[in-house]
Amino acid sequence: MRHDISLMTSVWGDWHTDAFLRLNLPSLLTPRNLRALAAMHHVSFVIFTTDADRTRIEASAAFARLCELMTVSFEHVDNGEIHDPVVTQQRVWWEAIAHVNRLGTHLFFLPPDVIWSNASMEHIGTAMAGGRHIVIIPWTVRVVAETFQPAITSYLRDRDDGIESR
C-alpha cells in the first residue's frame, strides 16, 4: 500500500542548522533512505526554520539533492519566538499536526540532529507499505558533538555514493 507522508523537521540556530546540513541530511540522502522511501510512497519534506537559516539551507548541495527527490517547502519560524525553544518546538509540532490533518497525510518528525543509518527509511517505508500506521523511533542516544561530528562528517564525505556533506 502506497501512502502520502509528510516529513517534517524544525531547525534554527547555528548548531542545529550545522548538524542538519552536515550530519542529518547527508545521512538521509544515502541510497536506501529517502530515495528508497520516496520510491515506495509519495513523500514531501517541510522545514520549519528562520529566514536566515532557510537561506543557509537553500545554499547547500545536500538541499539541492533533497529537492531532486521530493517536494520541499518551508514554514517560517520567527526569531523573536525562539527565546523559549521548548515552547517554539511544541508550537511547531502542533502546526505540523494541523498541516497533515489538512492534507490527510502521515506525519514523520525528523529531528535535525539525528543521523540515520543507511536503510532506516527503507525499513520504515516497508513497514508502512505492509500496514503499519505507527512507527516509534527512539532518539535517546546522545554523542559528544566535538568528537563525533568531525568523524561522521569525514565518513560521509569519503563514501563512494556521491553524498556531499558540506
The predicted-structure confidence for 86-142, as pLDDT tens digits, reads as follows: 888 888 999 999 999 999 988 898 989 888 888 999 999 999 999 887 766 666 555
β-strand 4-10 against 106-109: which pairing, if any? parallel
DSSP state for residue 81 in the 8-state scheme:
G
Contact between 46 and 5 under an 8 Å Cβ cutoff? The reply is: no
What is the reported pTM? 0.83
